[in-house]
Amino acid sequence: MSSTATATPAAVRTLREQLTDCTRLMVFADLMDYSGHVTARIPGTDHVLIQPRDTSRAGLQPEDILVVDLDGNVLEGQGPAPTETAIHLGVYRARPDVMAVGHGHPPMSTLFTMVDRPMIAIRNYGFRFIDIPVHPDPTHIRTLEQGAQVAATLGTNRACLLRGHGTVVAANTIQEVFMDSLEMEENARSTVHAATLGPLKPITPEEAELLKVSFGKNDYRIGKIWEHYHEKARQAGIL
């Protein structure tokens, strides 16, 4: 289990609401389409919150969300779990430190699984995604064995790419899943756009070390980004 303290019903309700908001924000930011999912581990248990397979990501409600165990059995809720629930379960099994996982199909990030070029950093926050691994299996990740293989590719990284498919982001919180998904895609988009202007000048290893220290002082960023997009989506009628 991830924690000795079991979440209260109120805490689980909050997680459901955050998952709902994050999923809608991911759709709003073009990080997720009709497929993809964000999950959260319920603290103190081996249970995971995940949306049903067929419920619209754009219209998800807290009461829609399922509870599954690490074997993929649905314990609470209606409707089957997503086809690729195994992505999340594989990460949670292998990484007790991970409390939230996101899987989406952002187009620019996924481009880096289709070319013989690793992910580089063009934006300063992109240092977190330099050389993230690419999982070689382009098929749907349907089985626990496939999920374990994705987790092995992920290793101790905060993200990996799935060949011709999408992304996997592992984080401490749901808000962090959104931030990392957003900034990985924006870094990829900036890379593609910069390449049309001339030779790329990626962040160097020496600069990356300096950025680790610099961004380490900005522990407010996750909440700031979440609040900004939450309000932006509210004004647009998404939330």
Domains of the chain: 9-235 (3.40.225.10)
Q: Residue 71 and residue 26: Cα distance in Å, rounded?
A: 26
Query: Distance from first CA to last CA of the chain, Å, rounded?
Result: 33
Q: Residue 26 and residue 48: Cα distance in Å, rounded?
A: 19
What confidence tens digit (pLDDT) does each residue in 197-233 have?
A: 999 999 999 999 999 999 999 999 999 999 999 999 9
pLDDT at 3 over 70: no
pLDDT of residue 5: 65
Beta bridge partners of 161: 134, 167
Taking alpha carbons only, the member of 151, 135, 36, 21 closest to residue 98 is 151
Give 39's DSSP letter: E
Q: Residue 2 and residue 4: Cα distance in Å, rounded?
A: 7
The share of the chain scoring above pLDDT 90, in percent, equals: 96
pLDDT at 2 over 70: no
What confidence tens digit (pLDDT) does each residue in 128-153 have?
A: 999 999 999 999 999 999 999 999 99
Give 79's DSSP letter: S
Residue 17 exposure: Cα atoms within 13 Å on the Cβ side: 8
Residue 60 exposure: Cα atoms within 13 Å on the Cβ side: 31
Tokens standing for residue 3:
């924690």
pLDDT of residue 43: 95
pLDDT at 69 over 70: yes
In this prediction the pTM is 0.95
pLDDT of residue 6: 77
User: Average pLDDT in the 38-61 region?
Assistant: 96
